[in-house]
Structure 1
Amino acid sequence: MFDGYDLIVYGATVPALIKYEPWGLTPPEAGVIGSYALVGMLIGALVAGVATDAVGRRKVLLISVTGFSVAMAACAVAPSAELFGLFRLIGGLGLGGVMPTAIALTAEYSAARRRSLNNALMFAGYPVGGILAAVLAIALVPEFGFRIMYWIGAAPLVLVVPLLWRYLPESLSYLVAKGRGEEAARLAGRLGASLPEAGSGASRPVAKSPVTVLFSRRHFVPALMFAITSFFGLLLVYGLNTWLPQIMKSAGYPLSSSLLFLVMMNVGAAVGSILVAPVGDRLGMRPVTAVTFAAAALSIYLLSSPSASWVMYALVAVAGFGAIGTQIMVNAYVAMHFPPEVRATALGWTLGIGRLGAVVGPTFGGILLASDLAMEWNFYAFAIPAAAGALMVFLLPKGTRDASVPTDAAPVGLKA
């Protein structure tokens, strides 16, 4: 939830930042600053994907959450736009490590038949954070300015980190692979889980580094296809979360209504992804992901034609599900496709390379708003990558489950 809040809060505060006279930001400049956090996330995801398999997922998640929380506090006191952008970049390093690590742990401790659903339930915190950012911006920014929103973003330092320290378990497959069998046995006994069986893929130490395995002939092409798909998905997620309020404001809606559109987009993402995820478990991820991408393209295109307010809110909700919800599906797809010993690395690299789209999204939106193009192009420009993502899905592998894990097996990584 705080991962989503700390990213989406920028879009919720962009209108206030542009109006903040001491800094005098233009829309293109605000778009560039919006991309700084995503550049940090790109680097953070790439590093975390390797680090989790080297030092463990628990440590990486603790360090990541602590890092982005401290950076948010620094944003709250930033004296200039330049330092504000630097702190957003630093915060992105921590944010980039959170999601691939959380997805990998969720996949490992989930039964195969519930992996997509459990991932959606975990990931639902992300759009809930977006809802929280938009609602609090409506209530607090007019009275207290934008800085209070970033102080709230530092709350995980006292609300989340102690809970992670106390309760977050390490990956059992990681412990066994590192020869820490006794520790793994104690943890498995405490959690009521099964240890990886002797000779299973999860329990064999990996002779080669996870990065080397990921870029082997077997895994490289799927990893590249997933990364390109994530590029389109993350371009939509961060482009719309950054600029939707300002786009709707330029279309004639007042600021409070524009922020409500951001709320509805994230409501649609949270509700839609939880409802559709079980379908992916039953029918396979490829057709479901293609449909959600197509839903995003169609709804964003229809937003270009003003309609009754309730129709516009409904379309924004579908767009949120089709953008954020689709990326949730893609992440679950990656977790299902790659074996446990390289899963975190695969997630880190595909999300990391895909975050080039996240970097492009905010800058792309800022350039659009500053251009002389008709208002409709603010929507067309995001509908096109959604359609391209739908086409890209058909190049992804068909399989959605680890070959070694039958549908009624114990949680992946715990039993082969």
Structure 2
Amino acid sequence: MSSTPVRPATSRPGAARAAGWVAPLCWVAVLLDGFDLVVVGTVIPTLTQPEEFALTGTGATAVITIGLVGMMVGALTIGTLTDLVGRRKALIGAVAAFSLLTLLCAFAPNALVFGILRFLAGLGLGGCLPTAIAMVNEFTRSGRSGRATTTIMTGYHVGAVATAALAIVVIPSLGWRWMFVIGAAPALVLVPLMLARLPESASYLLAAGRRAEAEDVARRHGLELESPPDRAAARSGGAGAGGAAATVRSLFTDGHARNTLAIGVTSFMGLLLVYGLNNWLPTIMREAGYELGRSLAFLLVLNVGAVVGLLVAGAFADRVGSRLAGMIWFASGAVFLALLSVRLPTAGLYLMCFLTGCFVFSAQVLVYAFTSANNPPHVRATALGWSAGAGRIGAIVGPVITGALVTAGIAFPWGFYVFAVVGALGAVALSVTRAVRPAG
């Protein structure tokens, strides 16, 4: 199965600027994922108070987990729908749905309603990431998919840092509900801008057999169509349950099964590390005797390292390939995670946490870059959705495993040993994949 590659034309600067709306709009959409990463953690201490929801430890865990389950389901379903209804509709719909349901969280009368709304918001948010990555890669010059993917994912960590900083100001003065009002507010600007400026992907239109529309997008947005897609690719874009089943089935046929399974395992390991660290690393360090707690400074160091790592990883991946880069990043992350088990002075700990953030958080993004580059356009968003969905399972498992180690009083140093093994397994799983020339 093959489809037409699309690459930006270099001779039409005005059109190129129009197509340039894609990257910033998708970056802001991914930033919402970063908001969601930390917002519940910032409000949980307040929700445990008797005058609010009086959440118990079990209740708090349920509230955190239910949102992740929603994101997993959203990644699996909306990623597939994106290849059927188009990138533009799927991304705008996901952003609008997430934002509305996030706003409703601010008015939840009790923990049950709050949890249901968190699950539903997760459905929309889970679809943002695979759709945004697919869209950006389809408007990116050939050979720069690694850099494009990692740059877009800096929005994730910028959102996490900004939300944590915002919580320090907002929650004591305005209350926890305002965090969700603020989280929904970007949609007031983002959705109208997307409706006005976000084009449909020409790769999707070609894969769906809509060549005339694809040529129109190419003319208006500075894209160059090289050759027509074959009939099989066009048929895979059909709407309805049959089209969805065929699109998903293609991930496990025509030589894609090996990569699909290996990428799923790698993503599981990658997001297990991301969420395990974000939820429990400060607690583990307190257990080790460091007086860092859950401070904003610690979160900033970890996520600043992540942003730097993303920028370096993208450039490196474009030189050596996202597969090799991902293997190196997972293996290096495993080394630095193991080194965190060594007692260090505070300055050394901050440096080690910075380096850990550089490698661990970027490793999973390189998996997305590899997935995008090694799947044809008509199944690209589906493949990214399934990769993100498998990763969300790891996102649920990671905090549970680490929490059990903390409860048992052995999180230091064994938590870091477990994380190091997970990182090594991620490198091994990625090594099983094969870099293929995508049919498109």
Which of 85, 90, 112 aligns to 1:60? It is 90
Which of 141, 146, 160 aligns to 2:190? It is 160
Secondary structure at the residue paired with 1:70? helix
CA distance in 2, matches of 1:380, 1:60: 40
Match of residue 358 from structure 1: 395
**Equivalent residues of 2:285, 2:293 under 8 A apart:** no
Deviation at 1:295, TM superposition (A): 2.5
**Equivalent residues of 1:45, 1:100 under 8 A apart:** yes
Deviation at 1:253, TM superposition (A): 5.8
**Equivalent residues of 2:302, 2:354 under 8 A apart:** yes
CA distance 1:362–1:81, change in 2 (3 Å): farther
Between 1:8-17 and 1:63-72, the stretch displaced more is 8-17
**Can you list the C-alpha shifts for 1:282-332, whole angstroms capped at 9, x where unaligned?**
112222212211222222233333422222222222222322211110000
Structure 2 unmatched ranges of 5 or more: 1-30, 238-242
CA distance in 2, matches of 1:122, 1:95: 15
Which of 235, 244, 257 aligns to 1:220? It is 257
CA distance 1:350–1:72, change in 2 (3 Å): same
**Can you list the C-alpha shifts for 1:33-58, whole angstroms capped at 9, x where unaligned?**
21211111111111112211111111
Secondary structure at the residue paired with 1:218? coil
**Equivalent residues of 2:74, 2:125 under 8 A apart:** yes
CA distance in 2, matches of 1:137, 1:379: 28
**Equivalent residues of 1:124, 1:273 under 8 A apart:** yes
- 1:44 equivalent in alignment to 2:79: no
- 1:283 equivalent in alignment to 2:283: no
Secondary structure at the residue paired with 1:394? helix
Match of residue 383 from structure 2: 346
Structure 1 unmatched ranges of 5 or more: 405-415
CA distance 1:110–1:286, change in 2 (3 Å): same
CA distance 1:181–1:403, change in 2 (3 Å): closer
Structure 1 residues 34-113: aligned runs within 5 Å: 34-113=64-143
**Can you list the C-alpha shifts for 1:375-398, whole angstroms capped at 9, x where unaligned?**
43343343332222122222122x
Deviation at 1:280, TM superposition (A): 1.1
**Equivalent residues of 2:207, 2:377 under 8 A apart:** no
State the AA in 1 paired with 2:85: V
**Equivalent residues of 2:286, 2:293 under 8 A apart:** no
Deviation at 1:246, TM superposition (A): 4.2
- 1:392 equivalent in alignment to 2:429: yes
Structure 1 residues 180-259: aligned runs within 5 Å: 180-199=210-229, 204-206=234-236, 209-248=246-285, 258-259=295-296
Between 1:108-117 and 1:222-231, the stretch displaced more is 108-117
CA distance in 1, matches of 2:340, 2:175: 30
CA distance in 2, matches of 1:151, 1:77: 9
Match of residue 272 from structure 1: 309
CA distance 1:83–1:159, change in 2 (3 Å): same
CA distance in 2, matches of 1:14, 1:251: 24
**Equivalent residues of 1:222, 1:396 under 8 A apart:** yes
Deviation at 1:97, TM superposition (A): 0.4
Deviation at 1:129, TM superposition (A): 0.7
CA distance in 2, matches of 1:251, 1:73: 39
**Equivalent residues of 1:14, 1:246 under 8 A apart:** no
CA distance in 1, matches of 2:303, 2:394: 19
Match of residue 363 from structure 2: 326
CA distance in 2, matches of 1:36, 1:322: 28
CA RMSD of aligned residues (A): 2.6
**Can you list the C-alpha shifts for 1:41-76, whole angstroms capped at 9, x where unaligned?**
111111112211111111110111111112222222
CA distance 1:245–1:381, change in 2 (3 Å): same
TM-score (norm 1): 0.88
CA distance in 2, matches of 1:371, 1:26: 19
Match of residue 151 from structure 1: 181
- 1:402 equivalent in alignment to 2:437: yes
Deviation at 1:240, TM superposition (A): 2.0
Match of residue 7 from structure 1: 37
**Equivalent residues of 2:263, 2:387 under 8 A apart:** yes
CA distance in 2, matches of 1:396, 1:108: 22
Which of 176, 180, 200 aligns to 1:170? It is 200
CA distance in 1, matches of 2:188, 2:291: 35
CA distance in 1, matches of 2:382, 2:77: 9
Secondary structure at the residue paired with 1:170? coil
- 1:296 equivalent in alignment to 2:326: no
Match of residue 123 from structure 1: 153
CA distance in 1, matches of 2:229, 2:159: 41
Give the aligned length: 403
Secondary structure at the residue paired with 1:239? helix
**Can you list the C-alpha shifts for 1:95-115, whole angstroms capped at 9, x where unaligned?**
110111111111211122111
**Equivalent residues of 2:208, 2:236 under 8 A apart:** no
CA distance in 1, matches of 2:55, 2:341: 27
CA distance in 2, matches of 1:291, 1:324: 13
**Equivalent residues of 1:135, 1:260 under 8 A apart:** no
CA distance 1:10–1:316, change in 2 (3 Å): farther
**Equivalent residues of 2:405, 2:411 under 8 A apart:** no
Between 1:373-382 and 1:40-49, the stretch displaced more is 373-382
Match of residue 315 from structure 1: 352
State the AA in 2 paired with 1:308: P
**Equivalent residues of 1:11, 1:245 under 8 A apart:** no
